[in-house]
C-alpha cells in the first residue's frame, strides 16, 4: 500500500482530520496531481481558515501553475490568518513568498 492509500484509509475513520487531509494534498503534489491537491487545500481552508499551514502550499501550487493572482490572494489570506493566530513563523514565510511573487 502506498502513502496515498494509507492516508486515504486513515481518512475513512476521520474524514475531517485536517492534518491527514493536508498530508494527502502534499502526497498528491509529489505525484503530480495538482488538481486533487488544490481541491483538498481549498476544502481545508474553506472549512478551517485558521489551518495556516495550507495557505503556503496552496499558493505555491497556484503560482507554479501560472495562477498568479489567485496565488497572491491566498498568500494575503494566509498572512491575515497567521496574524490572527499569532503564528509569526508562518506569517514570515507567507510574506516572503508573497513579496517574491509581487515584487
Q: pLDDT, tens digit, for every residue of 11-56?
A: 999 999 999 999 999 999 999 999 999 999 999 999 999 999 999 9
What was the pLDDT predicted at 1?
Answer: 75
Task: Write a three-state SS string for 16-67.
Answer: CCHHHHHHHHHHHHHCCCHHHHHHHHHHHHHHCCCCCHHHHHHHHHHHHCCC
- For residues 71 and 86, the answer to whether their CB atoms sit within 8 Å is no
CA distances from 27 to 52, 60, 91 (A): 18, 15, 24
CA distances from 24 to 18, 20, 73 (A): 10, 6, 23
Residue that has been written with the C-alpha cell 503560482 in this structure: 63
> Mean pLDDT over residues 64-82, rounded?
98
Q: What domains can you pick out in the chain, each with its CATH number?
A: 3-102 (1.25.40.10)
What was the pLDDT predicted at 13?
Answer: 95
Amino acid at each position: 500500500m502506498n502513502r496515498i492509500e494509507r492516508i486515504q484509509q486513515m481518512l475513512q475513520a476521520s474524514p475531517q482530520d485536517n492534518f491527514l487531509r493536508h498530508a494527502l494534498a502534499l502526497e498528491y503534489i509529489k505525484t503530480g496531481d495538482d488538481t486533487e491537491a488544490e481541491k483538498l487545500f481549498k476544502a481545508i481552508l474553506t472549512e478551517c481558515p485558521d489551518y495556516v499551514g495550507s495557505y503556503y502550499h496552496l499558493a505555491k501550487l497556484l503560482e507554479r501553475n501560472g495562477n498568479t493572482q489567485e496565488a497572491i490572494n491566498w498568500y494575503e489570506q494566509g498572512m491575515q490568518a497567521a496574524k490572527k493566530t499569532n503564528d509569526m513563523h508562518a506569517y514570515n514565510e507567507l510574506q516572503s513568498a508573497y513579496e517574491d511573487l509581487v515584487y
